[in-house]
């Protein structure tokens, strides 16, 4: 059974800092991994999708990496802004999607 | 243009009632999903449909029955609602099974 863990559960940083969110999974036989953000009371917005054959994906200030053999992915956010405050979820897809519990990020002005 | 839409956004009902939540996607995707997000924000897959056929049916009570009239719609019908059914239900779609997924805004169900 796939288990997905996200560390830390919550993170508070001052504006402008670079930060890393972590996602680990127990079964490395995956198709892909997807990072989402969820704003309070809202749905999930897809940020990045990394295929199992890829090592990283970039979109603007976001960079996601994948090390399938060690069961880890990281989401790097550069020059954080208050608008980045949200809960970030990773989903591991291997026949079905398994989500982590999320990291709640607060970026203080 | 809304990609994945759900109605209603909020649903408050009493125990024992039957209710439905509708989902529509205009992305031309073949696969649609229903997820449940509980009070602890944990998100879990309930059902997956590919081209109107059920692919995954996780361990959910049979009071929950998905219906897909066509590949753009996946509705969720819930019979005999219980307090524990209170949660946010998300519909999602994707081009194929568990590839990139696009989520709807969610339906907050409160059972009193």
Handedness of CA A93, A96, A101, A107 (dihedral sign): positive
Task: Give the C-alpha separation, B67 to B77, whole Å.
Answer: 8
Task: Give the C-alpha separation, B93 to B33, whole Å.
Answer: 6
- Tell me the mean pLDDT in the region A83-109: 94
Task: Give the C-alpha separation, A49 to A33, whole Å.
Answer: 6
B101 contacts A43? CB cut-off 8 A: no
A96 contacts B98? CB cut-off 8 A: yes
Sequence length of chain B is 112
Q: Which two tokens stand for residue B52?
A: 């109107």
Q: Which residues of B touch A (CB under 8 A)?
A: 4, 33, 40-45, 48, 56, 58, 90, 92, 97-106
Q: Which two tokens stand for residue A3?
A: 């288990």
B104 contacts A42? CB cut-off 8 A: no
pLDDT at B22 over 90: yes
What pLDDT, on a 0 to 100 scale, did the predictor assign at position B32? Answer: 93
pLDDT digits (tens, 9 = 90+) for B28-48: 999 999 999 988 778 899 988
pLDDT digits (tens, 9 = 90+) for A43-78: 899 999 999 999 999 999 999 999 999 999 999 999
Task: Using alpha carbons, list the distances in angstroms from residue B56 to A39, B18, B66.
Answer: 27, 23, 11
- Tell me the mean pLDDT in the region B38-64: 84
A64, A46, A61: which is closest to A16 by C-alpha? A61
What pLDDT, on a 0 to 100 scale, did the predictor assign at position B9? Answer: 95
């Amino acid at each position: 059974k796939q288990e997905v863990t996200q560390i830390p559960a919550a993170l508070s940083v001052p504006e402008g800092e670079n930060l890393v969110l972590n996602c680990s999974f127990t079964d490395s036989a995956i198709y892909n991994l997807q990072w989402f953000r969820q704003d309070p009371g809202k749905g999930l917005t897809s940020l990045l999708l990394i295929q199992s054959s890829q090592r990283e994906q970039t979109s603007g200030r976001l960079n996601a990496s994948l090390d399938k053999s060690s069961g880890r992915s990281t989401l790097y956010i550069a020059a954080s802004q208050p608008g980045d405050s949200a809960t970030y979820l990773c989903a591991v897809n291997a026949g079905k999607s398994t989500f982590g519990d999320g990291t709640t990020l607060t970026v203080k002005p | 243009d809304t990609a994945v839409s759900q109605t209603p956004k909020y649903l408050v009902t009493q125990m024992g009632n039957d209710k439905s939540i509708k989902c529509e996607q205009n992305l031309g995707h073949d696969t649609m999903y229903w997820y449940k997000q509980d009070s602890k924000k944990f998100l879990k897959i309930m059902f997956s449909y590919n081209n109107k056929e059920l692919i995954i049916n996780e361990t959910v009570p049979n009071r929950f029955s998905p219906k897909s009239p066509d590949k753009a719609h996946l509705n969720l019908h819930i019979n005999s609602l219980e307090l524990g059914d209170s949660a946010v239900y998300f519909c999602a779609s994707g081009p194929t099974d568990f590839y990139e997924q696009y989520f709807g805004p969610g339906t907050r169900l409160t059972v009193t």
